Amino acid sequence: MKKTTICNLLLLFVLIPGTLFLGTQLSGRWYYLTSTMMIVEVMIPFFLAFETRRPQARELVTLAVMCALAVASRVVMLIPNFKPMTAIIMITGIALGAQSGFVCGAVGAFASNFFFSQGPWTPWQMMAYGFAGFLAGGLFHKRFPLRNPAALAVWGFFTIVLVIGPLLDSCTVFTVSSRITWKYALAVFTAGFAYNVQHGLACAVTLLLFAKPLLGKLERLKTKYGMMDARQGE
C-alpha cells in the first residue's frame, strides 16, 4: 500500500476523529483551534507528496478553484435548503482523487462558514464534507465506466441520506447534550432525516446536470497539462 494511501486512511479514521474528540474536551471557543488543526492535518498528504514528485502550481490552482466553486455554490444559492456544495466536492474527488476531494470538502466547509458563522459544528462539517470528497474519489477516480451522471446522482443521494447527513447530525448528538443516550441520538437522527433528503436531492440534481461537463473540463485540463497523473500516488 502506498505511503499517501496509508496516510489518508490514518488521517480520516484516526487523526481527525481524535482531533474532534480532543476539541470537545476543551472549554471556550475550542472549534477555532480544532478547525485550524484539521486544516493542518489535511495538508499532511500534500507535504508527503513532495518526497516523490514536485506538484505543479497549476495543480494547486485547480484545486483552489474547485474549493472556491464549492464555497460559492453554498453561499450564493438562493433556494432554501438547496446547497449543491457537496456535489461539487464529490466531483472534485472523482476528477482529482480522494486526497484532493477531502481537502476540497474540509476547506470548503471552513471557508463557507465565514459567511454562515463559525461554531462547534464547523469541525464536524469539515470531517463530513471531506469524507464525501474522499469517498467519491476512492470509488470513482480513474473508473471512467462508472461515471454515468444518472448513476452518480443516485449514488450521491443515498450517500448523503445514509452517510454524510448522519455524520453532520452527529455534531448535535455529541455537542448539545451533556448525556448521550440511544433515545436522544435516535431523536436527533430522525429529526434530521427530512433535511438530509433535501440535501441529497440537491446533490443528485447537481450531479445529474453538472457532473459530465465539469468532469470533462477537469479531465481535459489534466490531459493538456499532465496534472495529477499516476505519479501522484493517490
pLDDT band of residue 120 (cuts 50, 70, 90) is confident
Closest alpha carbon to 151 in 222, 73, 90: 90
Q: Where are the beta strands (DSSP E) in the chain?
A: none
- The pLDDT tens digits for 132-141 are 999 999 899 8
| 55 φ/ψ sector (left φ>0, alpha ψ -120 to 50, else beta) | beta
User: At residue 81, does pLDDT exceed 80?
Assistant: no
User: At residue 71, does pLDDT exceed 80?
Assistant: yes
Q: Cα angle vertex 93, ends 171, 13, to 5°?
A: 45
- Residue 35 sits at φ, ψ, to 5 deg, of -60, -45
- The pLDDT tens digits for 38-69 are 777 777 776 665 555 566 778 889 999 999 99
What is the structure's pLDDT at 5? 66
Q: What predicted TM-score, i.e. pTM, was given to this entire model?
A: 0.83
Are 39 and 1 spatial neighbours (Cβ–Cβ below 8 Å)? no
Are 113 and 34 spatial neighbours (Cβ–Cβ below 8 Å)? no
